[in-house]
Chains A and B, each alone.
Chain A
Amino acid sequence: MTEKIIGSKRIAKRFANLKAEGRAGLVTFITAGDPNLETSSAILNQLPEAGADIIELGMPFSDPMADGPAIQASSQRALDNGASMIKTLDMVREFRHSDSDTPIILMGYFNPIYIYGVERFVADAAAAGVDGFIIVDLPPEEAEMRAPVEQAGLSFIYLTAPTTDDQRLPTVVEHASGFVYYVSVTGITGTKSASTQDIENALERLRRHTDLPIAVGFGIKTPEQAAAIGQHAEAVVVGSAFVNKLAENLNPDGSAQDSCVEAVLELVRDISGGLTA
């Protein structure tokens, strides 16, 4: 296969390094601005040293239809405390002052991007230091972000699910870049978990259609689960577990306790430990 890199160079380099180290990467999800911008930025900026290899930064949306209760509540907290698309990009810009290697992928729903203006948003995101996008409600059939993202040299990450059969997989991975995100359960975030055997079978099927690295997400909560899945995938995505940990460290009025940042980072270290052991 050719070595021509399509999409984000930072993502490609990170996966190359992980391959050289012989381990799976940890992709961590947090919601931008949850519970407030200051706490969220403090967590974001320390994620790499806690063991995050790639960061998914959630763009809060009022109607997160593919998310479970944890991320719904997280989005709502962020919005209640003034999160916005511009502030999300500000967080990335600040992060890049201290880290120029860890890929950041913005994850969310299309409407806030559509209202911002697709081309303007992609340009602003690229300038802020974003590497890619996962837009849950833009399947390959609705391709309006693809060209601007490709032109900006960034990656549009496609999701594949257990319901994406062999007939459909080529359509989904045709324009994929960076990596392919395998949604391991038919469900919303933070609920069910798939068995390692199911994931192994699914990845075998997926690899018949793509040479890209594969990240597996949905329902992965513990270092043990991450380690088991890391045997088969290039990366493991953990989201709701961190969001739940954050929620456990909030005051009744929704403000962050002193322990909040450290509690989330500690869980990142634990799960990362499962992948580097």
Chain B
Amino acid sequence: MAAEAVFRIADLKKSFGPIQVLGGVSLDLHPGEVTVLMGANGAGKSTLVKVISGVHSRDGGAMTLGAADFAPKTPAEAIRAGVVTVHQNINDGVVAALDVGTNLTLDRLSGKGQPLLFNPRRVQREARAVAERMGLDIDLSASIGDLTLADRQMVAIARAMAHEPKVLILDEPTSSLSSAEANRLFALVDRLKSHGVAILYISHRMSDIRRLADRIVSLRDGQIVGTFDKKPLDYEGAVNAMLGRKVHQSAFAANVGGKTIFTADNLVIAEDAKPISLSLGDGEIVAITGLVGVGKTALAETLFGLRSPLGGSMTLNGRGYNPRTPTEAINAGAFLVAKDRSESGIVGAFNIYENMSLPFLKRISAFGVLRRRAERAIARRQIGELGIVCRSEKDEMSTLSGGNQQKVMVARWMAQPSSLFMLDEPFQGVDIAARRDIAAKLRASAAGRATLIFVTEIDEAVETADRILVMSEHTVVGEHKNERLDMDRLLAEVAGQTARGAA
């Protein structure tokens, strides 16, 4: 480990317009060592990767590879210099229409000095050499489309390794792999490590990090806020640094839920995941927090009928609840404000009132004909209730700020009474004022239903909820009343250290 750093980043800066994304990042990578980079959404991880891999140019600072200055202008240049990146989306790394052999040698198809004609036999020969070196056991003539995700990723990595890079960057490589597939990837990473490659591994998954990390670096708001390399590694400290310890205690008295509205009993939402049991009471706001990819959205989707649980049962208002579609969930009184409003919430062609009425058109129409006057009256009422800043209910959605758009999404589902009101990342891309408004509105209207919010940022949970549940690896690992919160235990659970935290 004492080897000289092979790749150094010093005071790297990058801005997009007026927004500084990287504010002076310094990082050393050593040969034969896996450095894990952790950071919340928007911390600047992908920007850092893109600057290193030559997608973006840097605004300031220096990068050195070995003894030479490293300033790639294109991704191809970075690869030629020996810095190879495997991007998050596996299918970006392979061409599905071509076979494995061609994919393994894809980067030799273009560039100066390559032969004009495509010689399948030469390609297969070179591909075999690449595969053998990596110990890749895949039929070279198989079509990529027939491979599993893990195999595709192996192909992408093997091709990257054909350049014998000094530095390999893996950007959330396990995000779509099963645990068995991930194990194959880890074996490959170990192998590369023993070859003396310096590896930068970006991940949210604590199990990955625990398995691979020699060193952890935490990134927050474009700056390195913590480096952890003393064994045993301080995982909790790394998570803590990544999330930032600016969490304030709640300013309200936490409610205790009234009569039980929703229960889940031994609900299993992913293979090999431990079952989830929870119970939500009337008037209570419960936040489910945890890192990205621990199954928060999967749980929300299960409760909303978008996916079926692998096991277990649910009840809503004392009756069995097993929605197969969102329609059934809505009819049973379970509403979901889905995450990523522009993708799954806003109908761009509709104005404010048309967006608001969308799920409840049936309730405001007579014999199928919309009662537009009632529709607009409801919208005006909701605009007033949530303090949406607009000229009128006929405004286009695109004229609203992110916070006001989100308020429209929340208002849409609050226009009708619900039993179980779920919000998945309701504060994403929302300014602080709108966030407070939404949280205040949720608290003020909480009586008569159970409210469940899914948030990655712990302070959002602390600001809004009466009770906080922590998820890790597709199950609930901890429960906290939002009064005199044991923040150390909570962070430990987020970091996946349940055994030590709870026992």
Q: Do A and B bind each other?
A: no
Report A's interface with B, CB cutoff 8 A: none
